[in-house]
Structure 1
Amino acid sequence: MTAALGFLSPKGRVLPIFTVLAIIIVLWYALAIALNYNRVSEQLEQVDPGYSISELIQGTWNMERPVLPAPDQIAVDLWNSTAALKVTSKRSLVYHAYITASATLVGFAFGTLLGILLAAGIVHVRTLDRSLMPWIIASQTIPILAIAPMIIVILASVGVTGLVPKAIISMYLCFFPVTIGMVKGLRSPDPQQMDLMRTYNASRWQIFWKLRVPASIPFLFASLKVAIAISLVGAIVGELPTGAEGGLGSRMLAGSYYGQMVQIWSALVLAAILGMTLVYSIAGIEWATLRRTGGRA
């Protein structure tokens, strides 16, 4: 009981989060009034020139096609698009989130594998460190919005469509933080530890598995949290250029075509929830791994 009260105390985690959330919601409602004011006032002038302030405020929060929807409009649309529909329905946001999450996880898996392999090569082969690392860094200077359509068109020309192009875009984005983090982690053992391993006549393979890899685990998980979030962004971007039939990106694109801002914001909010879920899943795996390996009590 005491622990629960401590968790809910001002110094705990829950209260600060809900305080910030409350401030954001209040500011959101205020911004919705400011951005929707002109349209609502024009409509009310035509119907009733003597409208009240309360009618104006209510109108800005209940527009059918607002510039900025109010939080309760987004909440209602989220409920109607998730709980009120079967998950197999193409109008369900759960269905679209599943499609986006599938591409995200596939791209994340391949990006992580590629990043770890590149980091191992860079740490052990000096030629790769000097020749490959600059190109890895340069690859991230290309805007993903420019390269995504090219990837999709090129793969479509050879008959590869659906999940694979989006996964490749996600992989392209997420391999970079994994590579950089693993290079830093594999190089983190200090010279005394390396000298001790050599004193025991350990081979490079033994030094790698028994010293470098354990030392790199905290760096790896820090990179994975960034990589999984970027992978989700890549999957959503991959759904935009061709107007994919499914996915949160296609949902946003459809909303922009028909001026349905509530639909766009609902997809954005669900994408944020999905991103938080993925990041916290990595954090949970990190906690379990570090506890198992003695890195955390």
Structure 2
Amino acid sequence: MTDTPLSAPGAGIGRSGRVGRVVRALPHRFGPVLVVIAALIGLWYLACIPMNAQNSLMLAEREGIAVSPATAQERRDMSGLALTLATPEEAIARAFAQDRPRLPSPHQVIAELWDSTVGKKITSKQSLVRHAGITLAPTLLGFVIGSLAGIALAVGIVHSRLMDLSVMPWAIASQTIPILAIAPMIIVVLNSIGIQGVLPKAIISAYLSFFPVTVGMVKGLRAPSSSDLDLMRTWNASAMRTLFTLRLPTSLPYLFASLKIAVAAALVGAIVGEFPTGAVSGLGARLLAGSYYGQTVQIWSALFGAAIVAAGLVALIALAERLTLKRMGLS
């Protein structure tokens, strides 16, 4: 009986070599992204100085710091850049430490995000996690409704020339109506028949999310080549059989790309749907409350919270895409 080695010679070296290649590739993969982010943050900090210069001078006057007549005249002229150049020490020192700045600095937004997520219990009315969860319910419901409606419309458009000529132009025209104009109409009409709560906001989300799914699926269902379609005809395959065995598998990459756009649009629809209802909970309500009371830091933290939620939803769809296409042997 011979001894069997626990691992093949060079296996550890191979694994360490792969790890080394991954580590060496990190700067090339993430370096440009980090440089762009750093540049944006730097420009953001620079923009805070002229944007907050007006408030900086007002705070200086309240604290009894002498302000020259020329500076006072510039303040009346509302020239933020001139104010910064006229009093650089006061402007720079006070631009990043205001309770209600015109433009919050990045560290203020990050501090507010941390305090409203980690620093608050989820059950607290100040918790951004709680508000995000409330907005997430109509977002997901509207996303499902809009996606199913978009897929059904796409199947009808591909198989019916009458629907292609009649429904597709109306679907395109529907997206020219501003959502801020149609959202109150949807809320009022549904409230008049007793429908309240999550469903009206979900319908607004579905209104925004169905169009990208429709367009993407139409493109995907028409992706099979004419030779593939002729082959299905020679096999005497029905339209339904062709749909499930050829058109739908071919359309999956287009579908997932459309779903990523649709889920972000659904989140926007849910936030906009909270505006006309006077909601006290949700990301839209958080934005409204910050606007009413001049809490710009709260507004920006809610915006970044919405962006984080949207990025998480898109990442989940990307993961589902990777797993599905890999299982089907398409990637």
Normalising by the smaller structure, the TM-score range is over 0.9
Provide the residue aligned with 1:295 in structure 2. Answer: 330
Match of 1:21 in 2: 37
The aligned residue for residue 130 of structure 2 is: 95
Aligned to 1:221: 256
Change in 2 beyond 3 A, CA 1:144/1:50: closer
Match 1:49 to one of 66, 70, 74: 66
The one-letter code sitting in structure 2 at the alignment partner of 1:8 is L
- Secondary structure of 1:189's match? coil
- Whose radius of gyration is greater, 1 or 2? 2
Number of residues of Structure 1 aligned to a counterpart in Structure 2 = 294
Structure 1 alignment gaps of length 5 or more? none
Deviation at 1:20, TM superposition (A): 1.2
Structure 2 counterparts to residues 276-295 of structure 1, below 5 A: 276-295=311-330
Q: Is 1:169 equivalent to 2:208 in the alignment?
A: no
Alignment of 1:91-240 (within 5 A): 91-240=126-275
Instruction: Kindly state the Cα deviation for residue 3 of structure 1 after the two structures are TM-superposed.
Output: 3.4
Overall identity of the aligned pairs, in %: 54
Matched, 1:269 2:269: no
Return the offset for 1:74: 0.8
Match status 1:58 vs 2:58 = no
Aligned partner of 1:56: which letter?
A
- TM-score, structure 1 normalization: 0.95
**Does the 8 Å contact 2:56/2:90 carry over to 1?**
no
Letter aligned with residue 27 of structure 1? L
Q: Which residue of 2 aligns with 1:38?
A: 54
Alpha-carbon contact 2:57-2:90 (below 8 Å) kept = no
- 2:307 alignment partner, SS class: helix
- Structure 2 residue identity aligned to 1:38: Q
CA–CA distance in 1 between the matches of 2:240 and 2:202? Answer: 32
What is the alpha-carbon root mean square deviation over aligned residues?
1.5
Per the TM alignment, residue 56 of structure 1 is displaced from its structure 2 partner at its CA by 2.9
- TM-fit CA distance, 1:121: 0.8
Unaligned runs of 5+ in 2: 1-18, 69-86
- Aligned match of 1:69 in 86, 104, 125? 104
In the alignment, the residues of structure 1 paired with residue 168 and residue 58 of structure 2 have an alpha-carbon distance, to the nearest angstrom, of 58
Correspondent of 2:116 among 59, 81, 93: 81
Segments of 4+ in structure 1 off by > 6 A?
Answer: none
One-letter code of the match for 2:233? R
TM-score calculated relative to the size of structure 2 = 0.86
